Structures are given as C-alpha cells and as structure tokens.
Amino acid sequence: MLNYNQGLQFALEQDKRDELATYRNQFHIPKNQDGHDLIYMTGNSLGLQPKNTKAYVNQELDDWAKLGVEGHTQAKNPWLHYHEFLTNNMAKIVGAKPEEVIIMNTLTVNLHLMMVSFYKPTKQRYKILIEADAFPSDKFAVESQLRHHGFNDKEGLILWHSRPNEELLHFDDLKTILKNQGHEIALILLGGVNYYTGQYLNLKRITKLGHQYHCKVGFDCAHGAGNVALNLHDSGADFAVWCSYKYLNSGPGSLAGCFVHERHAHNKTLNRFTGWWSHNKESRFNMRDAFDLLPGAEGWQLSNPPILSMAAIRASLDLFSEVGFDKLLNKSKALTGYFEYLINQIKNDNIKIITPKNPEKRGCQLSIQVKNADKTLHDKLTNLGVISDWREPDVIRCAPVPLYNSFEDVYRLVEKLKKSLSE
Ligand SMILES: *Cc1c(COP(=O)(O)O)cnc(C)c1O
C-alpha cells in the first residue's frame, strides 16, 4: 500500500513513477475554451476516445470505398470474420474462454436475448430477483419479460434491498431471501458492479448460492468490464452482459458483450432466438440449407454486425492488450486509494463515501454522498472544469480511470470539490 500524502508534489511524483502514465497521451482528453484539459471523471459513463480509433475505423471506410461488397472477404480485415478479431482480447478482460464470449447488439438487447434462453418460468417458479437499486434499463427489461410470460410485473419482482440507512448490499440478506423464496425464483439478475454505489459483488459466491436453490444466475457487468477482474468463467454464472462504451472506450452506443458459460454455450437444445448469423459459418451463404446452429456464444448472434463499431472496439481492446489488465488493476487500486485518502482528509461531516472501503469490493469509481447538497454543487464543479456525474438526491460519482487519468487529475478534482463545498 502506498503511503499517501496530501500535497500536489506527491501526486506529481506518483505520475512520474507511473509506468502507464504515457497512455494518457493516447487518448483525446476533452478541453475547456482556453485549451486546458478538463478533469474527466466519467469514464464510467462514456470512456474517452483512443487516438488510434480513427485509423481503425478509417481502414474499414477505405476498404468499403475501394471494394464494396467484396470487402466481406477481401478487406484487410475481412468483415465476415471481423468479430473474431475481438474475441480473445475481450475474453481475457472478462476472464472467460473465447468460446464463451461474443460481441453483438447492445447491452439491453443482449439482456433480453439471455432471458429468452435463461428465464424459463413455470407457474411455481417464475420470479426474478434484482437489486432494489438496479440500473433502470435492467429493471424495465426484467419487468417486460415478466409481462411477456403473462405474469404480474410487481408480484414477479423480488428486490434485494440494502438495510435502513445503508447503501451497500449484504450477502446475508440475499441468503435470507433465498431461504424464504428461493423455490419461487427462476432468475437472479444483478449488476456485477452497482452503477450507483460502485459495490462489486462476489459473483462466484452469489452464483453458488443461487444454484443451490436451482435459480439461474446472470450478471450485468456494464460497470465491471474493463474496470475489475470479473473472472466470469470461474464465477460459474450462467450468463453475463456488458457494454463496451464505458470502461472499454469504444464510443457512444457501441456494441456490447455477452458471456454464456461453456456448460450452456454448447447446449443446442437451449431455447433461443436465431437469425442467419447463428447459423454455421461454412454453409451460411448456401441460404437454402436447414438451420445448423453455431456452437459457443457465437450461436446467439442474429445479424451481420456493424463493422465500423467493431473497428472502434478493436482499437480499444488492442490498447488494453498492450497494457495488460493486471497492470491496469494495480494502478486503479493505487489511484482510487489516493482519491479515497484525499476525500477522507476533508473536514466536513456532510461528506461520506458510500462505495465499499475494501478495494476488492469496488472498481475505480467512488460515489460521494454530500448531505444537504443539491445539483448546484455539481454545477459548481462543472464550472471549475470537472466532468463528473450527479445522481439524485445527493451523490457525485467520480471514476478515475487508470488508462488515462492521473494522480494530478485526482488531486485537482479534490481541490475543486473543496472549493465548491466552501462556496
Ligand atoms: C450503462 C448501463 C446500461 C445501458 O444499457 P444500453 O442498452 O447500453 O443502453 C444498462 N444497464 C446497466 C447496469 C448499465 O450500467
């Protein structure tokens, strides 16, 4: 553990020693009107653009211009196989086997496709358990699945609440819910890292518990992918989904990832929605053959995918692969630890970090609750050149991202927060 210190000098020294510091130059950092870097703390919402993204996208634009439809087979990176260029690197980041991972569609779409396969309600066992403070899209998706199967979306939903006056979830409370209602629950769907508190749940422990009660277990890892070591294969989860535009820096609305555990990935009897891209690659273009399902997570694809979006994902994944995820995690822990230290030095009883203190139970994001504050605090920060995220009623979320944020960023962020608080 680093011995943190409050002065700017300390931050500058850490940046000098940081072997990943130069990667900041490989990103476009948003600037203010005077051309100074803004303090960008919202990589948890939209990751910054790697400078090499343009070249990757232009390669495909150029091949399309030169080759038209022939680009499917003749492009430098033949489009027919383009998703395969992403699989290995993505699998490493989420801790899965390549055949368990596919990049396709967008996050909420993948969530629905996974529920087509893994939410198989019966009259006795039809409920879905989510965290009480789930990301709204996930909640809406789950409610619509309940209705789709003819169930009442209020009766069918079981919420895992935090305790009164607390924000974080206790595993023991989940145990109690399962003990009482486990026999009614068809699916447990949780945010691997909660978007609001930044709490990183123990995926393996939850999966084991859920499976004891014969529930299917899936995770939304939108805030986990590229941020924490998810070890999806080892977790034993039935499925997981995540987007690539947050910590994975692939651009607004870019394609999402999907994990199907190997014990299901090769199960051809599992119910699913299909299209021509779930069909055997060798005979896909014969067009008249009977359906022949692709094995592995690839078999959940429906359509031929948007290559330009995949090119942006590839640019980002190549960077991750060059850096090495372990190094990123080490820096992430040091950087967020420093952030936490500085916040804890502020003498103000209204400030509380609601993210877990244990670095193993969080990623880089800290959610800072400021009692009696309202959005004007966030507006002050914005005016001082900080891009952060405000969540009603009183929480500021900041995510120092190890790929492009510096110790100096964190130092200046906290100085500006202090200034905003004292005004
Ligand atoms: C960001 C996020 C989403 C967004 O879903 P899209 O389908 O990409 O719009 C959904 N769920 C969670 C948990 C998220 O963090």
DSSP notation for 75-87: SSS-GGGTTHHHH
Closest to 190 (Cα-Cα) out of 178, 179, 180, 255: 178
Give me ligand 1 centre to Cα 348, in Å: 33
242 lines ligand 1 (CB under 6 A): no
Give me ligand 1 centre to Cα 356, in Å: 22
138 lines ligand 1 (CB under 6 A): yes
Give me ligand 1 centre to Cα 222, in Å: 6
Q: The tokens of 314 are what?
A: 């590839």
Element containing residue 178 per DSSP (H, E): helix 171-181
Provide CB contacts within 8 A for 341, sequence distance 6+. 4
The DSSP-derived string for 285-308 is: GG-SSPP-BPSSGGGG--S---HH
Type of residue found at 324: G
8-51+325-422 and 82-321 agree in CATH topology: no
Which of 108, 111, 115, 247 should be mutated for ligand 1, with most atoms under 8 A from CB? 108
Element containing residue 397 per DSSP (H, E): strand 395-398
Spans of all domains in the chain: 8-51+325-422, 82-321
**Fold annotation for 82-321:** Aspartate Aminotransferase; domain 2 (3.40.640)
243 lines ligand 1 (CB under 6 A): yes
Long-range contacts of 132-137 (CB under 8 A, 24+ apart): 132/159, 132/160, 132/161, 132/162, 133/162, 133/194, 133/196, 133/197, 134/189, 134/190, 134/191, 135/191, 135/195, 135/220, 135/222, 137/107, 137/108
Beta-carbon neighbour count of residue 70 at 10 Å?
13
Q: Considering only the top CATH level, what class is 8-51+325-422?
A: alpha beta
Q: What is the pLDDT along the chain (423 residues), one digit of tens a residue?
A: 568 988 999 999 999 999 999 999 999 999 999 999 999 999 999 999 999 999 999 999 999 999 999 999 999 999 999 999 999 999 999 999 999 999 999 999 999 999 999 999 999 999 999 999 999 999 999 999 999 999 999 999 999 999 999 999 999 999 999 999 999 999 999 999 999 999 999 999 999 999 999 999 999 999 999 999 999 999 999 999 999 999 999 999 999 999 999 999 999 899 999 999 999 888 888 877 788 899 999 999 999 999 999 999 999 999 999 999 999 999 999 999 999 999 999 999 999 999 999 999 999 999 999 998 888 999 999 999 999 999 989 999 999 999 999 999 999 999 999 999 988
* pTM exceeding 0.95: yes
